[in-house]
Amino acid sequence: MKIDLTQIKATLRGLWKSWTAWFAGLLAAAPLALPMVQENFKTFAPYIPDALESSFMQWIAVVIVLLRIKTTSSLAAKGEKK
């Protein structure tokens, strides 16, 4: 099986340019910050509206769907040098 390094490099460059990948990366990193947020929740609480807190997961899903719809090309195509 031959590995196409050009395709892999183009995909990685496309991943770097992808709004969806960046957003998902931020979501993946969020649990690392969660203990700090929980420890300091009384400080943050006044800045978090109740509506946001209760529907937070639905909004995340909507944003991911909208970012995916916005994407019109594959990551490899996005990463090809122009």
pTM given for the model: 0.55
Coil, helix or strand at residue 80: coil
CA nearest neighbour of 11 among 81, 82, 74: 74
Mean pLDDT across 41-46: 74
pLDDT higher than 70, residue 29? yes
Q: How far is CA 47 from the centre of its chain?
A: 23
Using N-to-C axis directions, what is the helix angle for 19-39 and 56-70, rounded to 10°? 160
What is the pLDDT, as a whole number, of residue 71?
78
Task: Give me the chain's average pLDDT, please.
Answer: 76
Short-list 27, 34, 17, CA closest to 61: 27
Cα separation, 75 vs 14, whole angstroms: 4
Higher pLDDT among residues 50 and 38, named by residue: 38
| pLDDT at residue 57, as a whole number | 64
Return the DSSP state at 45: G
